[in-house]
Amino acid sequence: MRIVFAGTPDFAVPCLRAAAQRHEVVAVYTQPDRPAGRGRELALSPVKREALLRGLPVLQPDNFKSGVSKDALRALKPDLLVVVAYGLILPQSVLDIPTHGCWNVHASLLPRWRGAAPIQRAIQAGDAQTGVCLMQMEKGLDTGPVLLSQSLAIGEQETGGQLHDRLAALGAQVLSDCLGLLRAGIRPVARPQPEAGVTYAHKLDKAEAKLDWSQPAAALANQVRAFNPWPMAEAVLAGERLRVHGAVALDEAHGAAPGTLLRAGRDGLDVACGVGVLRIRVLQRDGGKAITAADYLNGRADLRQA
């Protein structure tokens, strides 16, 4: 099969490897190089780096609005377009070009968590389970029928970064299984998504990072996990802005105002919430690195009796 692959971030790299392992990837689409870092130098996307390592042709159109970009794709004579976190909207005229249409690997159990940030939103909502769906793409946002899916349990302390890596590997496996079927002449049956249970995983915003102490401790603990490694939860505590890398909720009653530091010890910093207490275990000071609460208190003797 002649496969064209479209993807951009780290999440898509295992799928590119799976597609290239036993099939002919004739080209790789990824977003244009963007300025990054303090020097604002142009940076290659993870997918572009992987494609170049494999000697695969790379195309980086700004969009598919022009006839030139569509003609370039058509000239590749693709049997299938595999899309994984590409980051560009594909119009119907593009979806119609490949012989078998376009497949998309999505990191949720559709129709729950359609949209840009399904991994983080699942953790933030306290979901116990998530997974990967391979769907036949159509014009709507993640509305296409599902070809193959696989579920997995979310660990009680699992972070967004950890779940990201597990789902990336699972996505590659699901894609490989479905490509194997197609290669054998077996086309998986596409099952329409149910109308019930639709939720949207809106794009993460840095403004969401600030912890709202009036919220229940359980919700804040989920937020801390979901936003690690980005945008990373943050809070002002004891007069200092801190980034919170790890925390757990304590089912503890208190009469303190939300945001009050109740205790500070080697096990963590215990902060009063709207309901319960959030124990901060791993944190980061401005300009520093992530450290345990015990190490933090070595430099904050004023808090040890809090």
CATH number at residue 152: 3.40.50.170
Q: Evaluate if residue 306 carries a pLDDT over 80.
A: no
Q: Which of 161, 180, 201 is the last residue of a domain?
A: 201
Confidence at residue 36, expressed as pLDDT on a 0 to 100 scale: 84
The C-alpha R_g of the chain, in whole angstroms, comes to: 22
Q: Evaluate if residue 39 carries a pLDDT over 90.
A: no
**pLDDT, tens digit (0-9, with 9 covering 90-100), for 239-281:** 899 999 999 999 999 999 999 999 999 999 999 999 999 999 9
What CATH number has the domain bearing residue 265? 3.10.25.10
Q: Rounded to two decimals, what is the model's pTM?
A: 0.95
Residues 100 and 188 in one domain: yes
Residues 31 and 100 in one domain: yes
Confidence at residue 30, expressed as pLDDT on a 0 to 100 scale: 98
Residues 135 and 217 in one domain: no
- pLDDT class of 40 with cuts at 50, 70, 90: confident
- pLDDT class of 297 with cuts at 50, 70, 90: very high
Q: Which residue in the block uniquely carries the two structure tokens 């345990």?
A: 292
Give me the domain span that covers residue 138: 2-201
**pLDDT, tens digit (0-9, with 9 covering 90-100), for 287-296:** 999 999 999 9
Q: Is 297 annotated as a binding residue?
A: no
Residues 33 and 157 in one domain: yes
Residues 269 and 131 in one domain: no
Residues 28 and 153 in one domain: yes
Residues 115 and 255 in one domain: no
Q: Is 242 annotated as a binding residue?
A: no
Domain count along the chain:
2
**Helices 13-22 & 160-183 angle (0-180, nearest 10):** 20
Residues 93 and 234 in one domain: no
- pLDDT class of 305 with cuts at 50, 70, 90: low
What is the rounded distance in angstroms from the CA atom of residue 239 to the CA atom of residue 259?
A: 11
Residues 189 and 87 in one domain: yes
Q: Which of 143, 178, 201 is the last residue of a domain?
A: 201
35-44 burial: b if 16+ Cβ within 10 Å, else e: eeeeeeeeeb
Give the pair of three-digit tokens for residue 123: 């953790």
Q: Is 216 annotated as a binding residue?
A: no
Residues 135 and 246 in one domain: no
State the chain's mean pLDDT as an integer.
95
Q: Which of 201, 225, 241 is the last residue of a domain?
A: 201
Q: Is 108 annotated as a binding residue?
A: yes
**pLDDT, tens digit (0-9, with 9 covering 90-100), for 92-121:** 999 999 999 999 999 999 999 999 999 999
